[in-house]
Amino acid sequence: MKNDPPLMIDLFAGAGGLSLGFKNAGFKVICAIEIDDWACDTYEKNHVGVKVIRKDISQIPDGFFLKFKNISVIAGGPPCQGFSIAASNRRKKNDKRNSLYKEFLRVVKLVQPKVVLIENVKELEKFKNEHGKKILDDIYETLSVQGYSVKHYLLNAKDFGVPQNRTRFFLIAAKHALPELTSKKKNFKHLTLWQAISDLPEVKPWEHNENDVFNYNCEPNNLYQKMMRTGTKKVYNHISMRHTERLIKRFEHIRLIQNNNCVGGDFAPRKRGNPDAVSNKHYSQNHRRLIPDEPSPTITASFYSSFIHPYQNRNLTVREASRLQSFPDTYVFCGKRTTLSKKLLAKKGIHEDIHLDQFNQVGNAVPPLLAEYLAKKIMHSFGVQ
């Protein structure tokens, strides 16, 4: 029917930030594909009615996708760990995740959607595939041959109402008018970290159980907080990490005015596996006191050890980070809050926990507000106001 909403499929869907943005813009998300079980649990809890395929996309046959022929939009973010600079010491040219963008292109070729949207880390512009060809050139050529006009952008989430300094790569391809993505509006004022999270209840290490739910203890202080709280009177996923007493004392010495983590003496960092020995290594990305009157630094998959609350002596909670990603407070994250590294879990034989924990899910997501902006631009290109 003429007034039916345009349809969208989300590949590599994760916890569903991209889907949420498209849903809020008026699209109907009909299918999501994600390999990780905990991320799928989160997606299904927050996107009731969407068909979620819990499978490696490379194992899904062509026939499955043919039933979506000529759908409005295929969107998604192929895993970026092989391209990201966040862990460049672990980056490998033969990382199998580097070729998953080809699976995305396989689905596009089968379905021939009207619009294609790819999200990734900004470093995607630079990297080459196993044949020495720039991945970006491969994407452009593959889509152009199929009749798409193609353009890519580097967009910073803070320019679109997200309280976070987060620059990401977005490629858009269309068979009709190509949506034009612009940067921030003239005189746009960035939202700060404290404007985003200051209304959330104070929590302390060891004082709460994992599944505790809180009531708000104040009114929202601004329109962003009011928007985040719409639809719920409860605060979920707001449990502090269980820091040791020594680490809490260390946090006390990392002052906002210093804004660094170079603490010596009794509170100097210790060697991994030997808490009695002082480490000579300095990790500049760990335990930074956040500045309240600026947008947050980039929330990454391992952000739980990266940032200290601006006023409380603890790392951020999942809820605080999800606020900085623009997830509403109604959005509940599933799975364990945090786990050991996958390498350590495998070494210990704890295979049931080798999934994306809540911190990973939040850090990997596309901010829903930015996704909504992109979706509205695409919707407008269809002639829908």
For tokens 């996309």, name the residue: 57
Of 118, 85, 83, the closest CA to residue 97 belongs to 83
Evaluate whether 17 touches 366 at the Cβ level (below 8 Å).
yes
Evaluate whether 380 touches 26 at the Cβ level (below 8 Å).
no
Evaluate whether 79 touches 125 at the Cβ level (below 8 Å).
no
Rounded to an integer, what distance in angstroms lies between the CA atom of residue 273 and that of residue 271? 6
Evaluate whether 27 touches 73 at the Cβ level (below 8 Å).
yes
Q: Which two tokens stand for residue 95?
A: 């990382």
Question: Helix, strand, or coil here: 100?
Answer: helix
Question: 40, 80, 218, 262: which is the annotated catalytic residue?
Answer: 80
Evaluate whether 52 touches 11 at the Cβ level (below 8 Å).
no
* DSSP 8-state symbol, 88: G
Neighbours of 352 (CB within 10 A): 9
Q: Is 80 a catalytic residue?
A: yes
Task: List Cβ neighbours of 3 (8 Å cut-off, separation of 6 or more).
Answer: none
What burial letters (b/e) apply to 81-114, b meaning 16+ CB within 10 Å?
Answer: bbbbebeeeebeeeeeebebbebbbbbbebbbbb
Q: Which two tokens stand for residue 345?
A: 């879990």
Evaluate whether 7 touches 27 at the Cβ level (below 8 Å).
yes
Q: At what angle do helices 17-25 and 368-381 cross, to 10 degrees?
A: 40
Rounded to an integer, what distance in angstroms lies between the CA atom of residue 216 and that of residue 228? 12
Handedness of CA 56, 59, 65, 67 (dihedral sign): negative
Rounded to an integer, what distance in angstroms lies between the CA atom of residue 151 and that of residue 162? 23
Report the catalytic residues. Answer: 80
